[in-house]
Structures are given as structure tokens and as C-alpha cells.
Structure 1
Amino acid sequence: MKLIIPQEIFDGESRVGITPDCISSLTKMGFSVFIQSNAGLQSSFTDEEYKKNGAKISSNIKDLYKNADLVVKIQRPSKQKKINEISYLKNCNVLTLLYEQKFKTEFNLLKKSKVNVFALEKMPRISRAQSMDVLSSQSNLSGYKAVIDAASEFNKAFPLMMTSAGTVAPAKVLIIGAGVAGLQAIATAKRLGAVVSSFDVRSSTKEQVESLGAKFIEVGDDANDSGETSSGYAKEMSSAYKKKQAKLLEETIKKMDIVITTALIPGKPAPRLINKKMVKTMKVGSIIIDLASEFGGNCELTKHGQTTNFNSVKIIGPKNLAASVAQDSSRLFSKNVINFLKNSCESGKFNGFNWDDEVVKETCIIRNLK
């Protein structure tokens, strides 16, 4: 079977779908692996590394896609830079991050194509799928990088410092959302010496937050409402809860130097948690980094891919933070894909997807091939 790795065509996307260290795993499964020339270069992987590990290099994109059985790419197939990836897809399976509710144009075009599309962001939250969970692996690095970027933008130090010239107070950091990205942001901020607080509607996250040394801030509205779905994701809360939440955040945010927001609700726009009034109360020189900016943002003033200054507060809507640590994020994505494919292997060989498997059924959102 022919597996191909195209070069990503979106601006700012420096990751690659499969890294050289995973090629041997694919060949053992029975794949012939082809990669577009220089597809891994922005992640610091050379064509020579891919060759050494058994991949074939293709400089012609049409030849690359010809007779492909499986396409692995980070971003959804699209039309960018005069390249129409969807037009190349014929009788093949595609593994990617699709987000069909946000990118409906590409989704509708793919539905009309002779393809099966596996949206890896749909991975079910079950224990055996953890090693395949692309969202978790990428969010983990995004949470780390958000804190590093915040520290770089902030005009004060993070840790407490006792010096002969006086004491430097530690930065006060609030992390909103204690999912994978939020927990990594907490851990990173603590390692840098900040005083960290965190808020999440899910009461179950309190223990995790406190285990990392952060203070858990809670509304405490309804002891019987866990704030999460049966899948473990945050859910939409009641109007009464939201009012108390807004009051709590308003009182908390004005004491903070840095706020990092990571709150998302699957299949819906990001919840709006920080309004203009709250930002007005923040200290001069404070930083907000909104990791939910691609999905509308947790802050009213966030602009995706831009930095906004409002009332001497810097609001950053980062675009694809995981891609800014492309080598590591590519390695993790690649290993997630390998584990996903191994899940359908029999006696170590891949002969097609196991359509009775929960992981396969949940992720395949377009099935136009048998």
C-alpha cells in the first residue's frame, strides 16, 4: 500500500505528518512510504533522513498523489497557493485534522470526493486511544509554548528573587481551562517560578490543578453539577452559573500579571469568558494569551493571529502555537498516527481499517469507499 506525506501548504504550518523515525514502523506494516521533497524541512527533518529510513522522495506533487492509498497530513486538504489538494485525492484514505464544523467548504468538497476521511480530532476519549490522541499531544506543547511566549512578552521576571538590591516579586499567572494545554501551562509557569491560579468549570480538575502546585478557583455553584460531559469535556453551563463565573473572574483577573486561556467546548465556538470591562481592570503591562483564538477566542478583544493592545494590556491570539515547536509536535503527531494504524493491524500487517472498531468508526466522518 502506498502511503504519502505531502508538504503542508498553509502559511505558518511548519509541521509534517510523519517523521523519519516512524518510517520503519510503516514499512513493517506493509506500506511503501513516499514523501514530498522538503516536506519535513521546516520541522528540521531533511530528505536525506527520510531516505535513510526507507522513504522515497517525490518532487512532483501529481506523481506523489498518484495511486496513493493513504494520505497523512496535519492540516485539512484545501486549495492554497495555487495548489488544489482535494483535486488530487482519488480512491484513498486521508488522516488529518479536519474540524468540519468550522471549515465547511473543504468538508463539503471532500464529501463529494472518492475518499474516506479520518478526522483525528474526533478521537474518542477512551483509555486505549490515549496513544492516538492527536489533540492531547499538540495541546500539551501549545500550553508549554504559551507560557514561554508570555514570559518573553512580559516586562518583568517570573520567579521570586531575593537580591542585595531588593526583592523581585513573582509573576501572578491565571490559567483558564485545566485540560491538557492548561495543565501543561500550569506546570510550565510553576517551573518558571510564577504564582499560579487556575479556573475550570469541571470540578474534577481541582485535584489535578492542586497537584501541580496551583490554586484552584471555583464558583461552587452546584455541587451536583460536575461541569463536564460523559466524555470528560467541559459543557455549556447555566446562565446563573455564568453570572457567578463572570463575577469571580472579574475579581481574580485584576490581580493577575498574565492570563492564559485554553477553554473550548467541542463542536461549539469558544466560550467568551473575558470581556472588555474585565480587561480594563487589569494591571498596566499585563498579558493575555488566548489559545482559543482560532475558535472565536475566550477574550472579547482577541483577534486570531494578531496582537492587540487595549488599555496598556497586550492581548495575543496566537496562530498555531504547536507549529512553533514543529520538531517535537511533528514527532508526537507522527507517533499518534502510527498507533492509530497499528490499531487496525493483524499480525503486525495493515490490510485495511477495522470498521467494527470504535476508534475507526468515531474518527471516520466521511466514508465514500469500502
Structure 2
Amino acid sequence: PSDAECALAKSGSVLVGMLNPFDAAGLQRVAAAGLTGFALEAAPRTTRAQSMDVLSSQANIAGYKAVMIAADKYQRFFPMLMTAAGTVKAARVVILGVGVAGLQAIATAKRLGAVIEASDVRPSVKEQIESLGGKFIDVPYETQEEKDAAEGVGGYARPMPASWLTRQQAEVAKRVALADVVISTALIPGRAAPTLITEDMVKSMKPGSVIVDIAAGKGPDGVGGNCPLSEADKTVVKHGVTIVGETNLAALVAADASALYARNVLDFLKLVLTKEGTLKIDLEDDIVAACRVTQDGQVTKK
């Protein structure tokens, strides 16, 4: 919430929502207003917390919408078509980053008949990619440090060593040059989005190709995203390639996004409300404790 919105809130109230636990200034505002804040993005990645995982519910929608936008911008068919007037080849789609958004993007592109390749730092996603009909872009690990970083923490990716990133970039560059559509979804909580599609890679793509950068606006210093040429909330054409930088894809599927988000909030409220409807904040509950970011005028999560 903005300064004006915080000023309207009653001290002692409880605020539940997507408060961005990495936004120190924003949390300080919430704390100064005397609000007890719960950031749903901070919920642990456990089975019990799944129903209130706002990142997953909204990223799922973003992955779907990214493919639909790409299909709209790409001026050819996605599926292979054999007609009396000739055969049209299937579109080649490359997905970079295979979290919730990436997996939904693979599934959606597959339904539309595209040929799909996908890349991620975590080797564990290979089976998931293949189960959805995609092909995993494999980059072997040469050191224990690379393997450990690839496993991630709590379901989130970790920054990879430079040695592996160099090899991955070379492998991905080959696939991107042949791709008709590239959808990048790579985000690391609390850090700038990693650069996956360099300007040279964009130059290597065929004219008329499409990039949908889900990380737009989250690059270093808030510029670019997974591609440094993407611009937040704009669709631009660079080197003959259309680059879509929508920053709130879930809002473009507003009815379903709102319904799923409302369910996330409701399931969290069940943990902090009694059957009589009174507030009971139980910090012994691991989900409640993890989501609490402000209380009693203090920021509790650093």
C-alpha cells in the first residue's frame, strides 16, 4: 500500500496480501502505520501451504497468458498443418525457466501444437518437462558447487556459478537462434532477474520471432528482465523481433486470477481466525510465522 493508503488504515489492523517481503521501504511503511502485515509470498513451499501459495496461483496464469500473447503476436500457425495448399511446419517454442509459469507455458504451447524445448538450472525438472511433451535442454554439471546450486532451496532457484552459466548460455543460444517463440520466466526472489537472452541472441533470431519476457521490469536496476531489451509494460520490436514486456500477465485473465487469489487469502485467514471470527495469531504455526512481516510497529522479517 502507498503512503496515502497506509494513512487510511486503523492502527492495530491486520493486512494480508502480496506485500513483497523484499521491499524494505514498503514494509517500513506498513509497520509505521501500526499494521500487522502478512505477506503471502513468504509462505513456505510445503504441502500444507500449497492452497495459499499466491506465487504459484498467479504464475500459473502468467504462463498460460504468455503463450496466448505469443500466439497472437507470432504471424504464423503454432501447429503443423497439412493442407491442399501445402504443409505448414509447427512453431518452435523455447521456454527458459521451468517453475510454475514455465510448466504451464509448456502445457499450453503443447496444446496449441508447437514443438517445445525448455531450460532450467534444476536437473529435477527434466522429467516434468518431458511429461508435458517438451524436450529438456541439458547442460551437464562439472563440479559439486554447480550441482549443489542447481538443487535450489525450498523449491526456489539459486544463483548458479559463472562457469555453468557460460555453458548454459552457449547451449541456449543455439536453440534461441532456431526458435520462433521464446518465453522467459526466470526469477530469483530478492534479486534482479538473470539475463538469459542477450542482445546478440535476439539478433540471431529470425525476423518475425516473438519473445515474451515474464521477468520484464525486474532486471538489474529495474531495467529489462531476462532480456535486457525488454521494456516494462510495453511491446517493442528490436532487430526484427517482437519483445513483449507485460509485467502483470495475471491481470489480463482477471476473473480467474481474482478467484484463485481470493481462495489463497481465504485459506490463510483460516489460520488466523477462530470459528467465532475473532483474530488469533498463532506464531507457533510455521505458515503464520513465515508470512508475518510487521507487528507492533516493527518489521519482523529482514
Do both share a fold (TM > 0.5)? yes
For 2:272, the equivalent position in structure 1 comes to 344
For 2:249, the equivalent position in structure 1 comes to 321
For 2:222, the equivalent position in structure 1 comes to none
Alignment length, in residue pairs? 289
Q: Do the aligned partners of residues 149 and 348 (structure 1) sit closer, same or farther apart at CA in structure 2, a change above 3 Å counting?
A: farther
What is the rounded CA distance, in whole Å, between the counterparts of 2:196 and 2:231 in structure 1? 15
Bigger fraction of residues in helix: 2
For 2:71, the equivalent position in structure 1 comes to 151
User: C-alpha root-mean-square deviation of aligned residues, in Å?
Assistant: 1.7
For 2:16, the equivalent position in structure 1 comes to 95
What is the rounded CA distance, in whole Å, between the counterparts of 1:328 and 1:186 in structure 2? 20
What is the rounded CA distance, in whole Å, between the counterparts of 1:366 and 1:272 in structure 2? 33
Over 2 Å off, 4+ runs:
103-108, 221-224, 343-351
SS in structure 2 of the partner of residue 293 of structure 1: coil
For structure 1, list consecutive stretches of 5 or more residues without a partner in the other structure. Answer: 1-76
SS in structure 1 of the partner of residue 211 of structure 2: strand
* Sequence identity (%): 44
1:305 aligns with 2:233: yes
**Contact in 2 for aligned 1:113/1:368 (Cα 8 Å):** no
Instruction: Read off the aligned partner of 2:287 and give its amino acid letter.
Output: V
Higher relative contact order (CA 8 A, sep 6+): 2
Give the deviation of 1:344 after TM superposition.
3.5
TM-score, structure 1 as length reference? 0.75
TM-score, structure 2 as length reference? 0.92
Task: Show the 5 A alignment for 1:48-87.
Answer: 77-79=1-3, 84-87=4-7
What is the rounded CA distance, in whole Å, between the counterparts of 1:221 and 1:251 in structure 2? 19
Of 206, 214, 218 in structure 1, the residue corresponding to residue 126 of structure 2 is 206
What is the rounded CA distance, in whole Å, between the counterparts of 2:185 and 2:70 in structure 1? 14
Higher Cα Rg, which structure: 1
For 1:107, the equivalent position in structure 2 comes to 27
Of 202, 212, 215 in structure 1, the residue corresponding to residue 135 of structure 2 is 215
Give the deviation of 1:343 after TM superposition.
2.6
What is the rounded CA distance, in whole Å, between the counterparts of 1:200 and 1:229 in structure 2? 11
Give the deviation of 1:111 after TM superposition.
2.4
For structure 2, list consecutive stretches of 5 or more residues without a partner in the other structure. Answer: 220-224
Q: 1:168-217 deviations in whole A, cap 9, x for unaligned?
A: 11100001111000000000000000001100000000010000000000
1:185 aligns with 2:105: yes
Give the deviation of 1:346 after TM superposition.
4.6
Instruction: Read off the aligned partner of 1:96 and give its amino acid letter.
Output: G
Give the deviation of 1:293 after TM superposition.
1.1
Instruction: Read off the aligned partner of 1:219 and give its amino acid letter.
Output: V
Deviates more, 1:125-134 or 1:89-98: 89-98
